[in-house]
Amino acid sequence: LFHGASGVDDALLAALTAWRAARPTVRLLAIAGNHDRPALRSRSAGLVEWCEDDLREGGFAFRHEPAVVPDAFVLAGHVHPAYRLGTAGRDRLRLPVFWQRPGCLVLPAFGSFTGGWNLRPAREDRLYGIGPDAVIPLQTAVALQ
């Protein structure tokens, strides 16, 4: 959500405060990651509840870094997966992607601050590219590698 203290400015805090005020019964949890410093946590105090460890809910494990968790399907972040599509010519497109691996889905990141890690997916992996108005399955592109 924040990806470091530089991502938390007064405008974001005002928008989050207004969103929370309109939804007082909604519990907003954030899984703490490697960029979530104490200053960031203190600025968002009262708006976000920070989880230091994995959060288990039903058959899911929500965590910062992807890993195998027995008896759970993992939803994680951290690596900011991206995929480069290209043709034999010069056409190239780099997309943030959802990266599905056995037992795990790694969520994409957006914006120039977060960068991205270019994937070289395995055959069993599935990628879903983020387009302007849709999430696009990229299985065909992955199979051609």
Residue 118 vs residues 54, 68, 85: alpha-carbon distances, Å: 25, 21, 11
Residue 28: predicted pLDDT = 87
CA distance 56 to 13: 27
Question: What is the chain's mean pLDDT, rounded?
Answer: 82
pLDDT over threshold 70, residue 142: no
Residue 50: predicted pLDDT = 84
